[in-house]
Amino acid sequence: MNDSPKAQREWLSDPENVKSIIPDNIIISSLLRVGGQGAVFYGKVNNTPAAIKIYFPGQLCTRIEREVHALATLQSDAIVKLLLFRQIQYEDNPLQLVATEFVEGQNLKDCIEQHGPLEESELGNLAYDVTVAIHAMWNLRTVHRVS
């Protein structure tokens, strides 16, 4: 196999490939999105619908572990629940796998592009949920960076 970072990312973004390196209690159904840090799949963890992220080789383990610790500590209905965090092996590379509960729906950008601006009541609900999440994170002095 080609060991270039691009080839690794392509291989790790294919659900059929990923199925060969994950534990038996995880079922991968489809690819949701590929980003700079890893690939996110829809699937199930112990029969619970999940968003399963596999970080690409070379990602900072300490940063991932810090974010996972924060996610495990935060208790809020406005923040997804951590289902599983573990290391898996891809060739000679240890990779981090993080699974959170799957929240059904569309991302905000796609929603606005398809349906136009949010109604006032929808915007109010969104603002409330974001405020609750920020409050929970602030109470633990946790900040989430978007890279």
The first and second tokens of residue 110, run together, are: 């796609």
CATH no., domain 5-104: 3.30.200.20
- Type of residue numbered 72: A
Domain boundaries, the chain: 5-104
Instruction: Please tell me the distance from the alpha carbon of residue 105 to that of residue 68, in angstroms, as a whole number.
Output: 23
Residues 77-105 have a mean pLDDT of: 91
pLDDT in tens, 38-90: 999 999 999 999 999 999 987 788 888 888 988 888 888 888 999 999 999 88
26: burial class by Cβ within 10 Å (0-12, 13-18, 19+)?
buried
Query: How many residues comprise the chain?
Result: 147
